[in-house]
A and B are shown apart, each in its own frame.
Chain A
Amino acid sequence: MTVTIYSMAAIALFVLGLYGLWWQPHLLRKLVSLNIASAGAFLLMVALAFRGGDPDPVPHALVLTGIVISVSATAFAVVLAARRYRETGAVELDDPEERP
């Protein structure tokens, strides 16, 4: 039961993050959304590792690795977005006039 609650919450987080990544135009909002989605993915892996009584260490190890990777990717993306802002003044991916 606990595993189901956590897994469903993880799926909700993941989909919510994907929604933001897809629909929010601002780059920082996209980045926050991406992190929410990855938190969902990590939570799902940790929850599923707990199914058979004592937790399976392999998904835990993958999540621990994934956290460090997502932190480095986020830092790189922040710097990239800041650079883009300084070069073009844009905080969104599309040109403002092209957006619907």
Chain B
Amino acid sequence: MNTFIQRCLHGGVIAVLAGLAILLARAVLALDPEGRGLADTVSAAIPDSGVLHPLTAVLLNFRGYDTLLEIAVLLVAVLAVWSLEPPVAPCARVLQEPAHRNPVLLVGLGVMVPMIAMTAGYFVWVGAYRPGGAFQGGALLGAIGVMLASTGVLPSSIHRTIRVRLAVAAGFLVFLLVALLTAGGSGTLLTYPKPWAGLVILAIETALALSIGVSLALLFMAAADRATVHREDAP
């Protein structure tokens, strides 16, 4: 009887979701196939934005408010993860053998980390006129953090140092400062003065990339720490 009810429930769930899929597909097919959305509006406003790439212009200028809130969410996520409980186990336990004992790993890191860091810097810089920007650069920086943490080079107590905490907050603080200055100067939040727009965007993007990279790495370290502790505690 119990399995019968469960089967009916399962069938109901599948039916509801199939209905949702059909509804969504019909809605998508009903859209204008030549609809251009905001593409023309954006390309018309590009000369005012201080950058040449439309995506960066939208992210950092036209919809800068979204990005400000996004970096705030990332900051809150890091704080929430930390407040759940401070890491107790060193991250080196993710890899049973610490990197110091493995020369191949150390040399590999020594080659890869500077290259990835350079690529991250290039991505942030190139975002002004090509695909790239703070998020791509930040993701690469995060990858460096993940590599260093999972090879045990980075101690898990690293988040207690003031430098790391400043790096986590830097993106939000710089962005907030710009928001306050523009609100005070021009009376509108995040409306950059036109001759300075490119420079302001680059400054924000650099701080954002740093914060995103460090935050992603710290989130990884926190989750990996829990997973390790959790495995050892298990009966």
Contact = CB atoms under 8 A, between A and B. Distances in A.
A51 B34 CA distance: 6
Contacts of B6: 100
Contacts of B2: 100
A65 B219 contact: no
A67 B142 CA distance: 14
B21 A15 contact: yes
Interface residues of A, number: 45
Given A23-B13, A69-B73, A75-B220, A58 B37 contact: yes
Given A18-B17, A100-B5, A72 B59 contact: no
A76 B222 CA distance: 9
Interface SS of chain A: helix
Nearest to B53: A57
Interface in B79-118: 80-81, 84-85
Contact of B77 (A3, A44, A72): A72
Given A8-B25, A19-B13, A100-B6, A86 B36 contact: no
A53 B39 CA distance: 10
Contact of A4 (B29, B84, B215): B29
A58 B25 contact: no
A85 B222 CA distance: 16
Interface string A17-57: 01100110000000000000000000010001101111111
B135 A68 contact: yes
Contacts of B77: 72-73, 75-76
Contact of B9 (A75, A76, A100): A100
Nearest to B3: A100
A75 B14 CA distance: 29
Contacts of A18: 17, 20
A67 to B, nearest CB: 8
B223 A57 contact: no
A76 B70 contact: no
A3 B10 CA distance: 32
Interface string B56-67: 011100010011
Contact of A75 (B20, B223, B229): B223
Interface string B205-220: 0000000100110011
B55 A83 contact: no
Contacts of A86: 229-230, 233
8 contacts: A15-B20, A51-B34, A69-B74, A75-B81, A75-B220, A76-B80, A86-B229, A100-B6
Given A7-B28, A49-B37, 13 more contacts: A4-B28, A12-B21, A19-B17, A52-B35, A56-B37, A56-B42, A57-B58, A58-B37, A62-B66, A68-B73, A68-B135, A72-B215, A79-B222
